[in-house]
Amino acid sequence: MKFRPNISTPTLGSSLGTISLLLMNACTSGQFGGEVNRTEEGTSDSSSQNCEDAGSKKLGVKETSEVNITAERLVSLIEGTHTAGLVWRDQTGFDGVEVTPAAGDSTITLEIVPLVETAILVNRVDATNTQGGNSLQDERARPPCRDEMRVEADVTVTSENGAFNDTFRAQFVAQNGLFISSAIPLTPGMLEGSFGVDVSRLQNGKADDTILRLGFALGSLSGEIVGSLSTSNSDVASGASMIYGSFPLFGCESGYLIRSETEFSQSLSQAIESRSQFDLTWDNAEKTELTLMQKVGKMCFESSPYDSMQSLSLDLLATVRTGDGRIDGKWSLPSTVQLSAEGKATQISVHRSPYNADYYAKEDFEQETGISGVRSSASDLSFEFSYDMNLATEEKAQGKLVILEATVPDCVRDDFVAPVITNDDGETSSSGCAGVDFRDVDSSGTNTERAIIVER
């Protein structure tokens, strides 16, 4: 039997009346890893709202700039017809809200005609520096302001489910050569398409801040339609963030999907999958060969306003075998790939953390993981596996494998019933839960449940 150590977090209530007003002030997020905070007409910005424009200049088509991309290159990445599977979300969990068209899978098509003559380079500065009252702590807490290239385009959006049949003037923004974004304001019910949000059954209900977000990551397009809902009466105001739709189908939970058919994806997959031979040394000095046959799965570009270095998260499915027969299994290995300013993969860091993966009942551990010969008196086991590989040099990858015992409090188990505590005022509550913890296997001093791996 396998378990997940994460403790469940509260889910959104089925009624807007149960949602805190604080949610109205939170950034709407979902499929995207980088927030789009500035929602002026046709613009988007992955940096903080503390930034403001401080001048701009026209750019020639081939002119280079501080953002490491030319207008010609930006135009080549966004122009043309882009079609993707569209997930139109089910909103029945929101009482009193009716969204049209009905939920279901569909397709969306965007015809983008860039106006290269509108290309400008915009200098962005911290607005608080011009207003005073700025502390060093404030500066460290905010992402830096970065210059942007902006190019306008006409964007025609159509969808098979009828939600869109509209043309917009949008502005596409790049802060580097890897990621281009746009945020197109929408007014549900006022479009040529059928997209509408009926909140008439809510008291003082409003559907606001509806945006079509677009993101081109290394040339691959993702998008989502987001907004906010609010309702109020004389006593309380409530609000919620909404995701009406997203594309492509089976996109990233966080970040922007990189299509597997792109030259970048195929090159990265080949580089990772070709490096499969390692030496493994257990802590008792016994050595064996390790074969790590890795298959690259979904790639998701992570856009961070705080870091000038951009990265990808990707799923690796690895078939793992050792010459001594102790390991013969299939592992899912979360990984992060660092990218250079030119968009080349420079390093991959693979890390299966026990805190973000399944743990297993001792009697099922070998069957689930393919790891045999573990001596432990614990009821539950897990393992940690990690390595770092430099993709830009011939430097050998190195990493480790550690078998771990899981310390599982009763409050985490499925059959646990939390005791109810009643105070003097008659109010009830339940005790907290510390969650699952992990430690090295106690194998009576033999210490053979750890290993170092080095690429051959």
Identity of the amino acid at 208: D
pLDDT, residue 203, reads: 83
pLDDT of residue 440: 84
- Name beta bridge partners: 313: 300, 336
Distance CA 450, CA 399 (A): 11
Query: In which residue are the tokens 């790939």 written?
Result: 337
Q: In the predicted model, what is the mean pLDDT of the chain? A: 83
Q: Using pLDDT thresholds of 50, 70 and 90, give the confidence band for residue 91.
A: confident
Provide the token pair at 417.
Answer: 């019933």
Q: pLDDT at position 130, please?
A: 54
Between CA 46 and CA 39 the distance in angstroms is: 11
pLDDT at 139: 52
Run of H or E including 312: strand 311-322
Coil, strand or helix at 456 = coil
pLDDT of 46 > 50? The answer is no
Would you kindly state where each structural domain of the chain is located, as residue ranges? 28-254, 263-455
What pLDDT score does 68 carry? Answer: 86
421 has pLDDT over 80:
no
Mean pLDDT lowest for which of 107-111, 153-157, 423-427? 423-427
User: 27 pLDDT exceeds 80?
Assistant: no
Burial track 289-326 (b if 16+ CB lie within 10 A, e otherwise): ebbbebebeebbbbbebeeeebbbbbebebebbbeeeb
Instruction: Look up residue 127 and give its DSSP letter.
Output: G
**Per-residue pLDDT, 305:** 61
